[in-house]
Homo-oligomer: A and B are copies of this chain.
Amino acid sequence: MKNKLFDIWDNNKASINAWLSIPNSFTAEAFGKMGWDSVTIDMQHGQNDYSTAIAMLQGLSNSDTVPMTRVPWNEPGIIMKMLDLGVQGIIAPMINNKADCEKFVSYCYYPPIGQRSFGPMRAQVAYGSDYYQHANKNIISLAMIETKEAVDNLDAILSVPNLTGIYIGPADMSSSYGLPPKFDVKEDPVFSNIKMIVNKARGKNKIAGIHNGSVKYLKEMIEIGFQFTSLLSDFRIMTSHAESLLKELKNVDTKSDNTSAY
């Protein structure tokens, strides 16, 4: 097991991440084969749960993409179960302060760093019987910064040892500051927060990540220093293109708004 994203980041490059909301192992496998640097199974707002994630991760193992997950909440049971399945990175929502973050990091790593329990059934099958020796240095932990409280506690959160980095949820951060929730935010204070966060993160040698609603915005985010960048989701990509084709066929307006949700 060698987590490819660390190589990308060590070369000061940005990685491109796909986002899976559809609980299906074949669509997961197809995304793995496309060439995304990593693919994240969204268990929070996507329709995935533990049982559906098993086969999705098996499908992702058919390529060299890095399998990750966003868990529904900062809860040890599900984080450890997903790591046992072989995910190489965890994104935890709503990490609002240092205590949240310390707990999160403790769930992701074996002692002495953390309190992860031992029993990596599929991880050993997928990565070999020496998985335990390599796990702690190959697991990515990303704390979501998506509320005013988290922004206010940013320095403390970034000070947590062994945290790999942070991941900005632009929709929730907007909502928290009283703005309509959406991706690709250019309005302050959210946009200035985004710029501030990436700078602070890099200053503390943490990876900065963000969710994006368009290729254009994603590229801008890479420009200003983000190194873990996600684009839309399998579901949005499918429905926006299907609606666009139907519009060509029927001359009707498309119905969805890609920037409004995963």
Report A's interface with B, CB cutoff 8 A. Answer: 16, 18, 21-27, 29-31, 33-36, 44-47, 49-52, 54-55, 58-59, 61-62, 71-73, 75-78, 80-81, 84-85, 93-94, 110-112, 115, 117-122, 124-126, 129, 132, 146-147, 169, 171-172, 175-176, 178, 180-181, 215, 218-219, 231-232, 234-235, 237-243, 245-246, 248-250, 252, 255-257, 260-262
Distance, CA A237 to CA B150, complexed state (A): 38
B246→A16 contact, CB < 8 A: yes
B45→A119 contact, CB < 8 A: yes
Cβ–Cβ < 8 Å partners of A61 in chain B: 61-62
B231→A237 contact, CB < 8 A: no
Distance, CA A54 to CA B242, complexed state (A): 23
Cβ–Cβ < 8 Å partners of A126 in chain B: 29, 62
Cβ–Cβ < 8 Å partners of A115 in chain B: 94, 147
B246→A181 contact, CB < 8 A: no
Within the complex, what minimum Cβ distance (angstroms) separates A198 from chain B?
18
Distance, CA A262 to CA B47, complexed state (A): 24
Residue among A30, A215, A255, A262 with the most chain B CB within 10 A? A30
Across the two chains, which residue of chain B brings its CB closest to A244? B241
Distance, CA A255 to CA B31, complexed state (A): 11
The residue that A93 contacts in the complex, of B26, B117, B180, with Cβ under 8 A, is B117
B34→A54 contact, CB < 8 A: no
The residue that A58 contacts in the complex, of B29, B44, B111, B240, with Cβ under 8 A, is B29
Known: A49-B51, A54-B26, A55-B55. A44 touches B246 (CB 8 A): no
Distance, CA A250 to CA B65, complexed state (A): 15
Cβ–Cβ < 8 Å partners of A255 in chain B: 33-35, 129
Distance, CA A62 to CA B86, complexed state (A): 13
Across the two chains, which residue of chain B brings its CB closest to A59? B58
Distance, CA A147 to CA B245, complexed state (A): 29
A22→B24 contact, CB < 8 A: yes
The residue that A77 contacts in the complex, of B73, B260, B262, with Cβ under 8 A, is B73
A172→B117 contact, CB < 8 A: yes
B49→A235 contact, CB < 8 A: no
30 A-B interface contacts by CB (under 8 A): A16-B250, A21-B121, A22-B27, A23-B24, A25-B55, A26-B54, A29-B125, A31-B242, A34-B242, A35-B252, A44-B80, A44-B119, A45-B84, A47-B85, A51-B51, A55-B58, A58-B58, A58-B62, A61-B62, A72-B78, A73-B77, A110-B175, A110-B181, A111-B176, A117-B169, A121-B261, A132-B180, A132-B181, A237-B242, A240-B241
